[in-house]
Amino acid sequence: MKAILLAAGRGERMRPLTDATPKPLLRVRGKPLIEWHLEALARGGVREVVVNTAWLEEQITAALGDGARFGLSIRYSLEGRDHGGALETAGGLKKALPLLALGSDEPFWYVAADVFAPAFDFGAAAAAAIRPGQWGHLWMVANPPQHPGGDFGIAEGLAVPGTAGASFTWSGIGVFRPGFVGELMTDFEPGAKARLRPYLDAAIAQRRLGATPWRGDWADVGTPERLRALDTD
């Protein structure tokens, strides 16, 4: 399997830390946040990773290089160079799809580079959670204080609207098939900005999005205070 690491955002809530450093390169417990994901992906058997970039993207490409030191091959989807800025979550995924799919229907990992989940297992057993006919599968966490309402519920292994019962927050980690992009994201062209949430909702409405609770360590590194809390935990 391949993977995409979403690393293009400006990190407005992390300012002033992100004024001169892209958020994925902020250090957590001694190393850049994005490296925790790269090392975990390599442990899980992933060998090809796409990193989408925009804000201060030259720092990310210089820091990670071709990925060889992680046991990976890294390619970049350069939204800053090509479009002048980040394309948001769905826009970034659609632009990067040719680097991920190459005409196959093989699922790929989707990882938000600004979350911290050091023990997540990206191995084959986890990837097999996506069922035949599904467009994707999400790993969900207990709602953190900054997001008490959550995102979605879980029922019979499927993601359901959060109003249907107990809600969870999406961890930012999932597995998707190329068809999630090719069949659902038909209302905008590659290079346009678009958010992912409406397409997740569409997949849920068609009962084609799975979900599993994740009980391990997890944090949304969204503010300087949360970053400091991780370092002092």
What is the predicted pLDDT for the residue at 85?
93
Residue 160 included in any domain:
no
Find the CATH number of the domain harbouring 49: 3.90.550.10
DSSP E strand boundaries for the chain? 2-6, 27-28, 31-32, 48-53, 73-78, 108-112, 115-116, 136-141, 152-155, 158-161, 167-176, 209-213, 219-220
Q: What pLDDT does residue 164 have?
A: 54
In a domain, 209, yes or no: no
Residues 201-215 have pLDDT tens digits of 999 999 999 999 999
Look at the chain and report how many structural domains it folds into: 1
3-state DSSP assignment of residue 126: helix
148 falls within a domain = no
Cβ atoms of 92 and 181 within 8 Å: the answer is: no
Please tell me whether the peptide bond between 16 and the residue prior to it is cis, using omega within 30 degrees of 0: yes
* pLDDT tier, 103 (very low <50, low <70, confident <90, very high otherwise): low
Residue 175 lies in a domain: yes
Q: Dump pLDDT digits (tens) for 136-181.
A: 999 999 998 888 888 999 999 999 987 655 799 999 999 999 999 9
Task: Examine residue 218 and state whether it is found in any structural domain, yes or no.
Answer: no
- 6 — phi, psi (to 5°)? -85, 110
- Domain assignment of residue 185, yes or no: yes
* C-alpha–C-alpha distance, residues 59 and 82, integer Å: 16
Give the mean pLDDT of 116-131: 92
Assigned domain for 214 exists: no
According to the model, what pLDDT value does residue 67 have? 95
Asked, for residue 182, whether it belongs to a domain, the answer is: yes
- Which tokens is 106 given? 């093989």
Q: Domain containing 71: what range?
A: 2-138+170-195
% of the chain residues with pLDDT over 90: 73
* 57-100 confidence digits (pLDDT tens): 999 999 999 999 999 999 999 999 999 999 999 999 999 999 99
